A and B are shown apart, each in its own frame.
Chain A
Amino acid sequence: MTAIACDRVTVAMGGRTVLSNVSLAIERGEFVGVLGPNGSGKTTLMRAILGLVRPRAGTIRVLDAAVRRGSPAIGYMPQVRPALLHARIRGWDFVASVAGGHRWGLPWRSPAERKDVERALHLVGAQDLARHSIAELSGGERQRLLIAQALVGEPKLLLLDEPLISLDPHHQQAVIDMVRDIGRELRLTVLFSAHEINPLLGALDRVLYLGGTHAALGRVDEVITGPVLSRLYGSDIEVIRLHGRIFVMSSSGHDLEHDAHQHEH
């Protein structure tokens, strides 16, 4: 049973080829970390799976069906936009906006929809947070509401785009553990994009590393290696393992994952 199957997929954005001839298969129930430098196509891949970007060539199948926009089987957490940080709207209303949000009419939530929202909030332990306005919440608390929103509608596949951004290590670990536990409990397939591999090491089934329009999918010790990453980055990469942590270094000695993270801010 495959959750996501890409067959020789090429995606271009604004004239630039982001992914070229990528083939991969992700099994149902897998927790896959999506890594790679900025601009390597982590968000674009998710948008292609959602049907928001049409591949220039190749086919993508999601849960054994052709990609289509608006699939209820996919839960999605986009990256946090700055505008959202100032939204003076109650957490509950924010999370609930996704429930049947594409239908016309007044947004009265049916009892079933309200129950679904409560269930999602319960999964991330955010029933109390949902009473506060989004603008009052801290980064970690807001992240939990966003994950709850992705869980509304009982999806089978979760696409989480950079859920760790701007969180300190302690809260990063809390988010990862929570997503892993929810994923196991509900047998969800999870794609979790991040800048750094280390916080994810304990949770991952496999890693999908993107770079130089190519992709490598496999276990951490198969993919996070000098030769594989050198091919993706198109330059000499050294991988150093130290005390259970992994450091990805360019030949000139820069720690690439930390560099990438800092450039983002």
Chain B
Amino acid sequence: MFAYDFMINAFAAGGIVAVVAGAIGFFLVLRGQTFAGHALSHVGFAGATGAVLLGLPPLAGLAGFTLLGGIGIGLFGERLSGRDVAIGMVLSLSLGFGLLFLHFYTSSATQATAVLFGNVLGVGTETLWILLGLAVLCLGTLAVIARPLVFASLQPELAEAKGVSLRLIGVLFLAVVAMAVAESSQIVGVLLVFTLLVGPAAAAQCITSRLWLGVALSVLLALLDAWGGLTLAFYTDWPTSFWITALSGLVYFAALFAREVREGRDGRASRVAQPMR
């Protein structure tokens, strides 16, 4: 399998992106902002197709648009009511624009499929370096904001009282998410970003309630999904993105099931007996 350069590149790209998606995704799930992450990937679709139309690299358009989108959603603020509707509208509007750009760029079917569903086997060395650079930027920013981010996610009112700017943290975090989305779409495509960004993180939060163990587990599961998917794709010749979504779904639902069984067995029963609330 590793006799082929494209497989080595795919494993490297998958590894870089899995670490980013696993770590950033954990906080995305913790903050209940997974829908915003999903919408950002669709904004990226318009960016990528628009860039192709202008003769620019798709990744540049994708990263640029998701970044703008992330900062935009962040600036809307936490407390805007009807936020899901607004995000949903931005999401469909972006897909609409993406369709329009594709319409003008006629010889585009493969390009469109690559943007929508990913093309990890086509990652070149240059893209690999860009992915690595984005990953360092992404994780570096996360490392700087991690402490107030955890505080603001768990206890926003208290964090505000202790001097944390909720808006600044919200904008910085969504900018980081935007970069993670741009990275993930290189592997699984804009339509399937959820599978790397949310699946492993949500599964990790079913398995442990410890913060740092959860982040580590989320990264490990994302690596398992990405590398496992690549391996299965190599031997079956089925699409890589299919295998990654299949593994991600399998791990998530297994973790969810295990949690339900665990909580049904202990915890709950004894707690219900207490006259609480």
Q: Is A258 an interface residue (CB 8 A)?
A: no
Question: Within the assembled complex, what's the spacing in Å between the Cα atoms of A52 and B162?
Answer: 10
Judged by a CB distance under 8 angstroms, whether A40 is at the interface is no
Contact A103 B274 (CB under 8 A): no
Which of A22-30, A90-98, A244-252 binds B? A90-98
Q: Which residues of A contact B159 (CB under 8 A)?
A: 101-102
Q: With the chains together, A51 CA to B144 CA distance in Å?
A: 26
With A104-B145, A105-B146, A107-B150 already in contact, the answer to whether A138 and B158 are too (CB < 8 A) is no
A76→B210 CA distance, assembly (Å): 24
Q: Contact between B150 and A88 (Cβ–Cβ < 8 Å)?
A: no
Residues of A within 8 A of B268 (CB): 136
Residues in chain B within 8 A of chain A (CB atoms): 30, 32, 143-148, 150-151, 154-164, 205-206, 209-211, 263, 267-268, 271, 274-277
Inter-chain residue pair count (beta carbon < 8 A): 111
**Contact: B209 with A69, CB < 8 Å?**
no
Does the CB pair B146–A107 fall under 8 Å?
Answer: yes
User: A166 touches which one: B32, B158, B206, B277 (CB < 8 A)?
Assistant: B277
Judge whether B148 and A149 touch: CB under 8 Å: no
- A81 to chain B minimum Cβ distance, whole angstroms, is 8
The 9 closest A-B pairs by CB, nearest first: A70-B163, A101-B151, A133-B209, A138-B276, A78-B157, A139-B277, A107-B147, A93-B211, A90-B209
A107 to chain B: closest CB distance in Å? 4
Q: Which residue of A lies closest to B165 (CB)?
A: A102
Q: Identify the closest chain B residue to A138 (Cβ).
A: B276
* Chain B proximity of A162: nearest CB distance (Å): 12
**Min CB distance, B277 to chain A, in Å?**
4
- The answer to whether A105 touches B144 (Cβ under 8 A) is yes
Q: Collect the chain B residues with CB atoms within 8 Å of residue A166's CB.
A: 277
| Residue A260 is within 8 A (CB to CB) of chain B in the complex | no
B30 closest partner in A (C-beta): A89
A167: chain B residues within 8 A (beta carbon)? 277
Q: Is the CB of A69 within 8 A of B143?
A: no
Q: Using a CB-CB cutoff of 8 Å, which residues 59-101 of chain A contact chain B? A: 69-70, 72, 74, 76-79, 81, 83-84, 87-90, 93-94, 97-98, 100-101
* Residues of the B chain whose Cβ atoms lie less than 8 Å from the Cβ of A132: 209, 267
Task: Tell whether A106 is near chain B: CB-to-CB under 8 Å.
Answer: yes
Q: A69-B163, A78-B155 are in contact. Are A101 and B211 (CB under 8 A)?
A: no
Which residues does chain B contribute within 8 Å of A88, judged by CB atoms?
205-206, 209
Q: Within 8 Å CB of B30, what residues of A? A: 87, 89
A105 touches B143 (CB 8 A): yes
**Which B residues are CB-close (under 8 A) to A261?**
none
* A97 touching B144, Cβ below 8 Å: no
Q: Which residues of chain A are near B160, meaning CB under 8 Å?
A: 52
Instruction: Identify which of A79, A83, A102, A106 gathers the most chain B CB atoms within 10 Å of its CB.
Output: A102
Assess the A103–B147 pair: CB atoms within 8 A.
Answer: yes
Q: Which residues of B contact A105 (CB under 8 A)?
A: 143-144, 146-147
Q: Which of B158, B205, B276, B277 touches A76 (beta carbons < 8 Å)?
A: B158
Most buried by A among B148, B164, B209, B268: B209
